[in-house]
């Protein structure tokens, strides 16, 4: 009787689970294990919101495993030591896992695979996280892509080769009773001060939550996704990003759902698949340029003198900038662990272009507060807005928060929801309360500087200042 370990990481599902499928084909007894080793993720260990999600996702996985006759074995790291202990306890001769692509995790996994091989243990890693492995997509010169459009063109040509999602097993072998497991609470993932009520109200972590969210999106929103995805006041987003990050949903499942007849021929479905492409591109860049979570891809930005103003940074974090569309986004983030993607770009532009704060400050705040905090996507997004990454917005592209609010929150519903102190203002002034006459402010019960702050920075003068700073960058070859 052969025994294999399946090392779950950020693939917390049973459907389309390549590592689990291969283990079941190779062994009689399969032991699912999760090893909590955040220190092995280097400087980017999961933030507070991610830890909350992880707790509930592990609980959901445990439920799904028990329904099928198995259970999840929880251990604490180091990962190699935990695996070696389980191998000694169970007599396992193989370990299966799905690959991840963060630099610290790649280094850890290589060391684990080598150490297991030296002990005669088969170590099998699979692709369960991406449509395409990062090293398989290259340009004509054999180099990695740095621009999205040609990258996605190359991927699109290969979409027909993407395998169909694997079904979930109906039954699983029982885990021997002698194999001990930590209790989930022992991992200490939940906050000690319970600030997480808003997250619990907004999300259902786990594979069942992922499938329900995917189904609702395909049934109700995917057809108009190409337009509505830019409107934070409408339910036009897929809201699948945390499920994809934690692997409760695979990209192959998302691609398949967007490609069924009657769905896949819409402009909205094509736009959604393209967004899956941006996720692929983010991981492509992180794999090939592993320094980018901390350093700009465009080396010209390395010596840029960013401003350091702790008070302004704190006002931005707390949604007290005086720009309602920005403050709405930052408060949505604080309350729900998520922010609409269009608003992410607006708040990032204000921080990096108007306040001229280093993009790493924003990346770190998002890392701790987003339930979908993903190193590849977070890095791509912040470097895109700051102008220093691949496919980056040019340095002179600076979002005007008023124009963005007018265009993408035309009915003022988003701001009224998240900045309720402005809700009684007439539509004309909700986006720009500082322009309201005194009698209008009085009638709406708004005292600027008390109930709601005045703008933290002037958009026009700060834009001009940013342009002067950016124009000092040397062009390649200078």
**Which residues are identified as catalytic?**
275, 278, 306, 341, 359, 382
Number of H-type helices and E-type strands within the chain: 21, 5
- Strand segments, DSSP code E, in 59-110 are 73-76, 94-98
Residue 165 Rama label (left phi>0; alpha psi -120 to 50; beta)? beta
The strand ranges marked E within 64-161 are 73-76, 94-98, 122-126
Q: Which residue has the tokens 């500082």?
A: 434
Q: Which residues contact 294 (CB under 8 A, 6 or more apart)?
A: 43, 360
- State how far Cα 452 lies from the chain centre: 31
Residue 195, SS3 per DSSP:
coil
Determine contact, residues 346/431, Cβ cutoff 8 Å.
no
Helix (H) / strand (E) containing 5: strand 3-8
Give the full edge-to-edge strand order of the sheet including 3-8.
Answer: 73-76, 29-36, 3-8, 94-98, 122-126
Query: 296-326: buried (b, 16+ CB within 10 Å) or exposed (e) per residue?
Result: bbbebbeebeeeeeeebbebbbebbbbbbbb
Residue with tokens 């005194």: 438
User: What is the three-class DSSP state of 259?
Assistant: coil
DSSP labels, 8-36: ESS---STT-HHHHHHHHH-SEEEEEEEE
């Amino acid at each position: 009787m052969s025994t294999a370990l399946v090392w779950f990481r950020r693939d917390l599902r049973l459907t389309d689970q390549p590592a689990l499928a291969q283990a079941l084909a190779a062994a009689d007894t399969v032991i699912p294990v999760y090893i909590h080793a955040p220190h092995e993720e280097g400087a980017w260990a999961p933030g507070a919101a991610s830890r909350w999600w992880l707790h509930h996702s592990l609980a959901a996985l445990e439920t799904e495993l028990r329904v099928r006759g198995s259970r999840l074995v929880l251990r604490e790291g180091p990962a190699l030591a935990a695996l070696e202990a389980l191998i000694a306890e169970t007599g396992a001769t193989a370990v299966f896992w799905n690959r991840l692509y963060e630099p610290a995790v790649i280094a850890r996994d290589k060391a684990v695979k080598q150490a297991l091989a030296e002990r005669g243990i088969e170590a099998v890693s699979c692709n369960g996280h991406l449509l395409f492995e990062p090293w398989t997509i290259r340009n004509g010169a054999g180099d990695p892509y740095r621009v999205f459009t040609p990258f996605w063109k190359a991927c699109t040509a290969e979409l027909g080769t993407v395998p169909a999602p694997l079904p979930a097993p109906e039954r699983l072998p029982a885990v021997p009773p002698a194999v001990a497991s930590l209790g989930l609470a022992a991992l200490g993932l939940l906050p000690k001060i319970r600030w997480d009520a808003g997250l619990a109200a907004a999300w259902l972590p786990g594979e069942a939550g992922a499938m329900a969210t995917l189904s609702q999106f395909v049934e109700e929103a995917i057809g108009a996704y190409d337009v509505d995805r830019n409107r934070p006041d409408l339910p036009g987003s897929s809201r699948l990003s945390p499920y994809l990050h934690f692997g409760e949903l695979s990209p192959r499942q998302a691609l398949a759902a967007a490609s069924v007849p009657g769905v896949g021929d819409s402009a909205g479905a094509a736009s959604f698949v393209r967004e899956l492409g941006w996720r692929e591109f983010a991981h492509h860049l992180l794999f090939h340029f592993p320094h980018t979570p901390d350093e700009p891809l465009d080396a010209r930005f390395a010596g840029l003198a960013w401003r350091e103003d702790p008070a302004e940074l704190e006002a931005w974090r707390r949604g007290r900038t005086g720009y309602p569309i920005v403050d709405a986004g930052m408060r949505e983030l604080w309350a729900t662990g998520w922010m609409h993607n269009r608003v992410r770009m607006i708040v990032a532009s204000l921080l990096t272009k108007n306040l001229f704060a280093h993009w790493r400050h924003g990346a770190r705040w998002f890392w701790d507060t987003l339930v979908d905090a993903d190193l590849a996507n977070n890095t791509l997004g912040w470097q895109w807005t700051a102008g220093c990454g691949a496919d980056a917005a040019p340095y002179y592209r600076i979002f005007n928060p008023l124009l963005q609010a007018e265009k993408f929150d035309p009915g003022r519903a988003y701001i009224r929801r998240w900045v309720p102190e402005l809700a009684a203002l007439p539509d004309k002034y909700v986006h720009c309360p500082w322009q309201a006459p005194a009698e209008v402010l009085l009638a709406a019960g708004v005292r600027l500087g008390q109930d709601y702050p005045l703008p933290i920075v002037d958009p026009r003068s700060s834009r001009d200042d940013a342009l002067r700073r950016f124009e000092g960058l040397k062009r390649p070859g200078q």
